[in-house]
Amino acid sequence: MINKYISEFRQLIKIGVPIFGSQLSYMLMGATDTIIAGRASSSDLAGLAVGNAFSTTIWMFVSGVIFSVTPIVAQLYGAKKFNEIGQKLREILWIALALGILIGLLFMNMDLILNFLPIEKSITDISISYLKAVALGFTFITVFTCLRCYSEGMTLTIPVFCIAAVGMLINIPLDLMFVYGWMGAPKLGGVGCGIATTIVSFVMMVTLFIYIALSKSYQKTKPFKQFSPPTASTTKEVFKLGFPIGLGIFIELSMFSGAAIILGTLGETIVASHSIAINIASLFFMVPLSIGLAAATRVGNLIGENNPKQAKVASYSTIYMCMLTALLNSIVILIFREFIVSIYTVDPLVFDLAVSLLIFAAVFQLPDGIQMGALGSLRGFKDTFIPMVLLFISYWIFAMPMGYYLTTVGVSQPLGAAGMWYGMIIGLTIFSFLSIIRLNWIIKKFLRIKSF
**pLDDT higher at 339 or 122:** 339
Q: Check residue 265 and give its pLDDT.
A: 67
**pLDDT higher at 349 or 362:** 362
pLDDT one-digit tens code per residue, 6-52? 888 899 999 999 999 998 898 888 878 777 877 777 677 777 777 77
Do 142 and 104 form a contact (C-beta atoms < 8 A)?
no
Q: Check residue 326 and give its pLDDT.
A: 93
pLDDT band at 83 (very low <50, low <70, confident <90, very high): very high
pLDDT band at 374 (very low <50, low <70, confident <90, very high): very high
Average pLDDT over residues 157-174: 94
- CA gyration radius, the chain: 22
Q: Check residue 437 and give its pLDDT.
A: 95
Average pLDDT over residues 151-171: 94
Do 311 and 302 form a contact (C-beta atoms < 8 A)?
yes
Do 252 and 396 form a contact (C-beta atoms < 8 A)?
no
pLDDT band at 88 (very low <50, low <70, confident <90, very high): very high
Do 391 and 431 form a contact (C-beta atoms < 8 A)?
yes
Q: Check residue 319 and give its pLDDT.
A: 95
pLDDT one-digit tens code per residue, 318-337? 999 999 999 999 999 999 99
pLDDT band at 451 (very low <50, low <70, confident <90, very high): low
Measure the CA–CA gap between 76 and 304, rounded to whole angstroms. 6
Average pLDDT over residues 61-75: 91
Nearest to residue 284, comparing CAs of 338, 253, 327?
A: 327
Q: Considering the entire predicted model, what is its pTM?
A: 0.88
Measure the CA–CA gap between 347 and 42, rounded to whole angstroms. 17
Mean pLDDT of all residues in the chain?
Answer: 88
Q: Check residue 412 and give its pLDDT.
A: 76
Do 337 and 355 form a contact (C-beta atoms < 8 A)?
yes
Residue 227 has pLDDT above 90, yes or no: no
pLDDT one-digit tens code per residue, 275-313? 778 878 888 888 998 999 999 999 999 999 999 999 999
Give the whole-number percent of the chain exceeding pLDDT 90.
54
Measure the CA–CA gap between 345 and 432, rounded to whole angstroms. 32
pLDDT band at 264 (very low <50, low <70, confident <90, very high): low
Q: Check residue 1 and give its pLDDT.
A: 64
Average pLDDT over residues 441-450: 87
Q: Check residue 452 and give its pLDDT.
A: 58
* SS3 per residue for the chain: CHHHHHHHHHHHHHHHHHHHHHHHHHHHHHHHHHHHHHHHCHHHHHHHHHHHHHHHHHHHHHHHHHCCHHHHHHHHHHCCCHHHHHHHHHHHHHHHHHHHHHHHHHHHCCHHHHCCCCCCHHHHHHHHHHHHHHHHHHHHHHHHHHHHHHHHHCCCCHHHHHHHHHHHHHHHHHHHHHHHCHHHCCCCCCHHHHHHHHHHHHHHHHHHHHHHHHCHHHHHHCCCCCCCCCCHHHHHHHHHHHHHHHHHHHHHHHHHHHHHHHHHHHCHHHHHHHHHHHHHHHHHHHHHHHHHHHHHHHHHHHHHCCCHHHHHHHHHHHHHHHHHHHHHHHHHHHHHHHHHHHHHCCCHHHHHHHHHHHHHHHHHHHHHHHHHHHHHHHHHCCCCHHHHHHHHHHHHHHHHHHHHHHHHCCCCCCCCHHHHHHHHHHHHHHHHHHHHHHHHHHHHHHHHHHHC
Measure the CA–CA gap between 388 and 408, rounded to whole angstroms. 28
pLDDT one-digit tens code per residue, 92-107? 999 999 999 999 999 8
Q: Give the number of other CB atoms < 10 A from CB of residue 393.
A: 16
Do 205 and 143 form a contact (C-beta atoms < 8 A)?
yes
Nearest to residue 202, comparing CAs of 72, 330, 104?
A: 104
Measure the CA–CA gap between 274 and 280, rounded to whole angstroms. 10
Q: Check residue 49 and give its pLDDT.
A: 74
**pLDDT higher at 410 or 60:** 60
Average pLDDT over residues 264-273: 73
pLDDT band at 441 (very low <50, low <70, confident <90, very high): very high
Do 104 and 27 form a contact (C-beta atoms < 8 A)?
no
Structural domain boundaries in the chain: 16-230, 242-452
pLDDT band at 243 (very low <50, low <70, confident <90, very high): very high
Measure the CA–CA gap between 376 and 373, rounded to whole angstroms. 5
Do 380 and 293 form a contact (C-beta atoms < 8 A)?
no
Q: Which residues of 206-231 are buried (b: 16+ CB within 10 A; e: fewer)?
A: ebbbebbeeeeebeebebeeeebebe
Largest interatomic CA distance in the chain: 70
